[in-house]
Amino acid sequence: MKHVRRNDAPIYNGAMRTVRKFLLLMLPVVALAQRRPAREAGPTTVLKPARVFDGESMHEGWSVRVSGDRIEAAGPNVDASGANVVNLPGTTLMPGLVEGHSHVLLHPYNETTWNDQVAHEGIAMRVARATNHLRNTLMAGFTTVRDLGTEGAAYADVDLKQAVSQGIIPGPRILASTRAIVATGSYGPKGYSPEWHVPQGSEEADGIDSLSRAVRDQIGHGADWIKLYGDYRWGPSPGAHPTFSIDEMKLAVETAKNAGVPVAVHSATPEGMRRATLAGVETIEHGDGGTPEVFKLMAEHHVALCPTLAAGYSTAQYAGWNGKAPEPQGIQRKRASFKAALDAGVTILSGSDVGVFTHGENAKEIELMVDYGMSKVDALKSATSVAGRVLHMEIGEVKTGMLADLIAVDGDPISDIGSLRRVKFVMKGGTIYKQ
Same domain, residue pair 215 and 328: yes
Q: What is the pLDDT at residue 76? A: 96
Same domain, residue pair 144 and 13: no
Same domain, residue pair 162 and 32: no
For 286, which DSSP code? E
- Express each pLDDT in 276-297 by its tens digit: 999 999 999 999 999 999 999 9
CATH label of the domain that carries residue 61: 2.30.40.10
Same domain, residue pair 271 and 287: yes
Same domain, residue pair 14 and 55: no
Same domain, residue pair 343 and 258: yes
Q: What is the pLDDT at residue 233? A: 87
Give the whole-angstrom CA distance, residue 21 versus residue 25. Answer: 6
Same domain, residue pair 189 and 82: no
Residues 87, 92, 96, 100, Cα dihedral to 10°: -160
φ, ψ for residue 339 (rounded to 5)?
-65, -40
Residue 116 in domain:
yes
CA 333 from chain center: how many Å? 26
| Res. 201: pLDDT tops 50 | yes
Same domain, residue pair 86 and 213: no
Q: What is the pLDDT at residue 198? A: 86
CATH label of the domain that carries residue 226: 3.20.20.140
Residue 367 in domain:
yes
| Res. 2: pLDDT tops 70 | no
Residue 400 in domain:
no
Residue 412 in domain:
no
Average pLDDT over residues 382-388: 98
Q: What is the pLDDT at residue 36? A: 33
Tell me which H or E stretch contains 156.
helix 156-165
Q: Which segments within 246-384 are labelled E, that is strand? A: 263-267, 283-286, 304-306
Same domain, residue pair 60 and 151: no
Comparing 256 with 194, the larger pLDDT belongs to 256
Residue 415 in domain:
no
Same domain, residue pair 14 and 129: no
Same domain, residue pair 122 and 24: no
Domain with 32 in it: 7-36
Q: Is 185 helix (H, G, I), strand (E, B) or coil?
A: coil
| Res. 35: pLDDT tops 60 | no
CB 317 within 8 Å of CB 328: no
The mean predicted confidence, pLDDT, of the chain is 91
Q: What is the pLDDT at residue 105? A: 98
The pLDDT > 90 percentage for the chain reads 84
Residue 120 in domain:
yes
Give the whole-angstrom CA distance, residue 121 versus residue 45. Answer: 43
Residue 76 in domain:
yes
- Express each pLDDT in 329-381 by its tens digit: 999 999 999 999 999 999 999 999 999 999 999 999 999 999 999 999 999 99
Q: What is the pLDDT at residue 42? A: 56
Residue 56 in domain:
yes
Same domain, residue pair 149 and 285: yes
Q: What is the pLDDT at residue 235? A: 79
Please enumerate in sequence order all residues whose Cβ is within 8 A of that of 92, keeping only pairs 6 or more positions apart, or say none. Answer: 49, 50, 51, 52, 53, 58, 408, 409, 411, 412, 413, 419
Average pLDDT over residues 304-320: 97
Q: What is the pLDDT at residue 192? A: 87
Q: What is the pLDDT at residue 14? A: 45
φ, ψ for residue 218 (rounded to 5)?
-70, -40
Number of domains in the chain: 3
Peptide bond into 189 cis (omega under 30): yes
Angle, helix 292-300 to helix 329-344, in steps of 10 degrees: 40
| Res. 261: pLDDT tops 50 | yes
